[in-house]
Amino acid sequence: MVDVHTDLLTAQALAERLLITAGVPAPAAAEQAELLIVAEAKGLPSHGLLRLPRLLRRLANGTASPTSTGRHEWQSPCDLSVDGEQGLGPVVALRALDAIAPRAEQFGVAVCAITNNNHLGMLGYYAARMADRGLACFGMTTSEALVHPWGGTEAMVGTNPLALAVPARPAPLVLDMATSKISMGKVHDHAIRGVPLEPGWALDAEGNETVDPVAAKAGSIAPFGGAKGYGLGLGLGAMVTFLTGAAYGTDVGGTLDDIRPSNKGDLFILLGGGRHSVAEASEYLDQVRRSRRADPDTPVAVPGDGARVRHQNSIAQGIEIADSLWRELIALDTAREAVLAD
């Protein structure tokens, strides 16, 4: 199977057309498409166009709402509850962040707890956007139980990613990491591409080690970093779920299927009280970048550096999309044109 080469604008326009045809207003379609394309551009295909056909099916069958932007209920001036009402993840999350960012600037801290919202996509996108505004940000979300505990063999914990951003120039520090060794999106991507997993990444449904991505989809994936990574993933998941009122553990659904309402939780904490200047933060990060290298040819990186370089390269050179996925999207687009021509 070969990959198809395309440029970002073509891919973004295709995704937008398909979303608009599914009933999504143009500005919201642009936001959702942007999240998918930026993930592709930054080298995170597990959060890219792979997600679009499922999202279109969810919009078509009414599982996802094309128009909801989330119902806001302030618990205090700096604590916002959001019922996503099954809207598109980025659309709901960006409205929530737009609402709490001024509160974080005013009060030094603000939080939003979101439920009933579809997949956010690349979590670092949101954190970076807040850091560009001068706010430090923690972003957390839960997922289907896909990860086995350290010392366990059953999928009990979400991949529960953490994003963290700190304002800096020329660009913020942006950490965006699943607490699993790999994302289940990557397992799906390997399955689509027919590429085996690496040993130690996953267990099958019986709890045995496997490198078969199809077997892993029915089993569980490993936490990163041993007991600590497991503890972090479980802890973040328990934290987000306790605070949002979302579904716990194996009750979570809706980000990897076509038919279940999405019942995971999203939590963002924004911190506005920087006692240091952005220039001072930037100087420290530059010291780290200039520090002694393990490999003389590879400079020490700060979280976000690699993704930023890949993004710039993708703007200049385009991106590669799995052939089967691209053909599926083109077929959907052709069907759309046929309907419009009727």
Least spacing, CB of residue 2 vs a copy of itself, in Å: 29
In order of 5, 101, 169, 178, 189, the CA distances from 195 in angstroms are 19, 42, 38, 21, 8
Please name which of 143, 129, 139 lies closest in space to residue 164, comparing C-alpha atoms.
Answer: 139
Token pair for 75: 């618990």
- Paired sense of beta strands 202-203 and 79-87, if any: unpaired
The verdict on 244 binding a copy of itself (CB under 8 A) reads yes
Place of tokens 């309907």: 339
Write down how long the chain is: 342
Q: Give the contact letters, 298-317, x = binds to a copy of itself (CB under 8 A), - = no.
A: xxxxxx--------------
Identify the residue among 235, 315, 327, 337 touching a copy of itself (CB under 8 A). 235
In the complex, the smallest distance separating the C-beta of residue 179 from a copy of itself, rounded to whole angstroms, is 8
Q: 1: exposed, middle or buried (C-beta count within 10 Å: 0-12, 13-18, 19+)? A: exposed
Nearer to a copy of itself, 295 or 342 (CB): 295
Read out DSSP for 175-207? EEE-SBSS-HHHHHHHHHHT-PPPTTSEE-TTS
Q: Is 337 in the site for a copy of itself (CB under 8 A)?
A: no
DSSP string, 272-285: ---SS-HHHHHHHH
| Selected binder of a copy of itself within 157, 184, 197, 202 (CB under 8 A) | 157
Least Å distance, CB 203 to a copy of itself, is 9
Q: Which of residues 80-99 bind a copy of itself (CB under 8 A)?
A: 81
Among positions 1-40, residues that touch a copy of itself (CB under 8 A) are none
Number of residues that bind a copy of itself (CB under 8 A): 77
| Chain position carrying tokens 């490999």 | 295
Interface pick for a copy of itself out of 10, 67, 287, 334 (rule CB under 8 A): 287
Residues 43-82 that bind a copy of itself (CB under 8 A): 75-79, 81
Q: How far apart are CA 66 and CA 59, in angstroms?
A: 6
Among the residue ranges 29-37, 45-53, 87-95, 152-160, the one whose residues contact a copy of itself (CB under 8 A):
152-160
Task: Report the residue number, 45 or 167, with the smaller CB distance to a copy of itself.
Answer: 167
Residue closer to a copy of itself by CB (options 209, 323) is 209
Q: Which 179-198 residues touch a copy of itself, going by CB under 8 A?
A: none
* Residue at token pair 């350290």: 150
Minimal distance, residue 235 CB to a copy of itself, in Å? 4
- Report in angstroms how near the CB of residue 97 gets to a copy of itself at its nearest: 15
276 contributes a contact to a copy of itself by CB under 8 A: yes
Cβ 109 to a copy of itself, closest distance in Å? 5
Burial of 274 (0-12, 13-18, 19+ CB in 10 A): middle
